[in-house]
Amino acid sequence: LSTLAARKLGSRSKERERERETAWKRRRRQRRAPCASPAPADSSPRGWSSSSSPRTTTSSTAPRDLGEGKNAHLKALENAGERLRLFKADVLDYGSVAAAIAGCDGVFHVASPVTSGRPTNPEVDIIATAVTGTLNVLRASHEAKVKRVVVVSSVVAVFNNPNWPTGEPFNEDSWSDEETCRKNEEWYPYYLSNTLAEREAFEYAAKTGMDIVTICPALIIGPLMQPTVPTSIEVFFHIIKGG
């Protein structure tokens, strides 16, 4: 009996190993790391992002605040009156996320907390919020039978890898190392929040079979849709001004 049990245990271990290998290969195909040159305007994004007006499909977006001042630029988009729906949602509130996603064919998850300062409790305010929020979006998408979810991660989930060969361009196989991330006292919450949230996304995909793609862009520069300046652009301005 002990020999039979050991064989069964070994068989299950091999099955789990095959499942992990399959999930790993699928993750390699689905992760979009930064590329050397921008993709053409009519192709799928690989580390580059673009914005467009909702022309032929109905789009739903879930800002945290439905106030006119923060969302006027969205309502000004072409055909927004007929094709854009706004939902007030909080990624930590599963019910509000599910309500926004219901009826959608595809979901872009672009919400992630970021700060250039030092939050009081970064493990909760930044890291746990990013991971829990991502899982809420994926759960709601799975229940709504969404065809594909695109999770916008970041290049910070790629380049903090001390084991990557020197001089070798980063690709989808590189993951930031947690210990290395924590050495940057100011930015480690953002580094880790993206890295851990993206890992959780692929774990969820492996368990459920969901079609999940992640994009890991670096700095995105171009005309702004919103009236405010993103934190990453503020950092860029600080650098080019000699800061």
pLDDT at 25 over 60: no
Provide the CB-side half-sphere exposure for 230 (13 A, CA): 15
Give the tokens for residue 61: 């977006």
Quick one: average pLDDT of 36-44?
31
Q: What residues make up the domain containing 66?
A: 30-35+53-240
Q: Out of 40-49, 50-59, 184-193, pick the least confident.
A: 40-49
Q: What is the pLDDT of residues 115-167, one digit of tens each?
A: 656 778 999 999 999 999 999 999 999 999 999 999 999 999 999 999 999 99
Whole-number Å distance between alpha carbons of 202 and 198: 7
Return the amino acid letter for 150.
V
- Give the pLDDT mean for 34-57: 34
Six-digit token pair at 166? 């020197």
Mean pLDDT for all residues in the chain: 79
Pick the closest to residue 51 from 223, 217, 229 (CA basis): 223
In-domain check, residue 173: yes
Asked, for residue 84, whether it belongs to a domain, the answer is yes
Please tell me the total count of domains within the chain: 1
Are 70 and 63 spatial neighbours (Cβ–Cβ below 8 Å)?
A: yes
Q: Please report the pLDDT score of residue 118 as a whole number.
A: 75
61 located within any domain: yes
Tokens for 98?
């599910």
* d(C-alpha 32, C-alpha 211), whole Å: 14
Q: How far apart are CA 50 and CA 222, in angstroms?
A: 9
Q: 241 is written with which tokens? A: 């001004």
Residue 182 CA to residue 21 CA, distance in Å, equals 28
Residue 4 in any domain: the answer is no
Answer whether 0.75 is exceeded by the pTM: no
For residue 14, what pLDDT is reported? 58
- Is 160 contained in some domain? yes
Distance CA 9, CA 92 (A): 38
Whether residue 79 is predicted with pLDDT greater than 60 in this model: the reply is yes
Is residue 117 one of the residues assigned to a domain? yes
CATH code of 104's domain: 3.40.50.720
230 pLDDT more than 50? yes
Is 154 inside a domain boundary? Answer: yes
- Alpha-carbon gap, residue 147 to 186, rounded angstroms: 37
Per residue in 208-225, pLDDT (tens digit) is 999 999 999 988 888 887
Residue 215 resides in a domain:
yes
User: Given a cut of 60, is residue 3 above it in pLDDT?
Assistant: no
Name the pLDDT band for 6 (thresholds 50, 70, 90): very low
pLDDT of residue 220: 81
The predicted model gives 74-97 an average pLDDT of: 88
